[in-house]
Amino acid sequence: MSFSPNRQFKDAIYEQFARIGKALAHPSRLELLDLLSQADRTVEALGRETGLSVASTSQHLQALKSARLVEAEKHGLYVTYRIADPLVRDLLATLRVLAEHRLAEIEHTTRRFLDGREGMESVDKAQLLERVKAGEVTVLDVRPPEEYHAGHVPGAISVPLAELEQRLATLPRDQEIVAYCRGPYCVLSIQAVELLRARGFKAVRLEDSVYDLQTRGLPIAVGRE
């Protein structure tokens, strides 16, 4: 049975579309893309963040690279990866929104995880930035420094979660503290808020990522504090 040129054309096009779908069809690859959307990273750094071995991390990155979703550059002994196009970040955001709308399991899983935890209520983003400008609230970016430098909430202080315990004495006790990290499913800010509240601070979580805020038209700062 012969195929018409029209059918061959459509099959060829959809096969290329499927390359993207196949590359995304693994939870570890989605997490790797999410991390790379925050900042460029080496294979070793990505492995530490995800709990994967360097070999497994490299294999997943190669699958993403073959679909042209990430790019790599070698510096000495290390290979640094980055997302290949800002549209990759947009794709991840759209995938998240679609999953949240269509898969009830996401809400159920999130509710079970956050149930009983204090300080997890939503924060008004625009109002937050106004309060930051007015000096009424302290905002902590608890992501690793390289992510903070790539983009952060204006006025936010870089306090990576691993350093938070040692830097408590530098934080004000007469102001509300708002912690944020990589978005609603990032646990760094959750851990930060729990630690702060356990030490007597008034703290809440901003569940949006820097990218989420940027897409809503809110300003983003780049570089050091």
Catalytic residue among 52, 179, 181, 206: 181
| Per-residue DSSP letter, 166 | G
pLDDT for 1: 54
Contact 106, 99 (CB under 8 A): yes
Question: Which residue did the predictor score with more confidence, 37 or 134?
Answer: 37
Mean pLDDT of 53-64: 97
Structure tokens at 198: 């356990």
Question: Which residue did the predictor score with more confidence, 176 or 124?
Answer: 176
Mean pLDDT of 136-151: 94
Arithmetic mean of pLDDT over the chain: 92
pLDDT for 16: 96
Reply yes or no on whether the pLDDT at 214 is more than 90: no
pLDDT for 225: 62
Q: Kindly report whether the global pTM for this prediction surpasses the value 0.75.
A: yes
What are the pLDDT digits (tens) for 156-168?
A: 999 999 999 999 9
CA separation for the pair 71, 80 (Å, rounded): 8
Reply yes or no on whether the pLDDT at 211 is more than 60: yes
CA separation for the pair 69, 67 (Å, rounded): 6
CA separation for the pair 20, 66 (Å, rounded): 9
What are the pLDDT digits (tens) for 91-120?
A: 999 999 999 999 999 999 999 998 888 777
pLDDT for 62: 97
Centre a 10 Å sphere on the Cβ of residue 225 and count the other Cβ atoms it contains.
Answer: 11
End-to-end CA distance of the chain: 66
pLDDT for 65: 98
Centre a 10 Å sphere on the Cβ of residue 88 and count the other Cβ atoms it contains.
Answer: 21
Three-state DSSP at 111 gives: helix
The stretches of the chain forming alpha helices (DSSP H) are 5-24, 27-38, 43-50, 54-66, 86-102, 104-114, 125-133, 145-150, 161-164, 188-198, 210-215
Question: Which residue did the predictor score with more confidence, 142 or 208?
Answer: 142
pLDDT for 165: 96
- Return the closest-CA partner of residue 195 out of 172, 166, 154, 170: 166
Q: What percent of the chain is predicted at pLDDT more than 70?
A: 98
Half-sphere exposure of 22 (CA within 13 A, CB side): 12
181 flagged as catalytic: yes
CATH of domain 5-91: 1.10.10.10
**Spans of all domains in the chain:** 5-91, 112-215
Tokens 């609603």 belong to which residue? 184
In terms of phi and psi (left: phi > 0; alpha: psi -120 to 50; beta: otherwise), the region of 53 is beta
pLDDT for 100: 95
CATH of domain 112-215: 3.40.250.10
- Return the closest-CA partner of residue 151 out of 209, 84, 76: 209
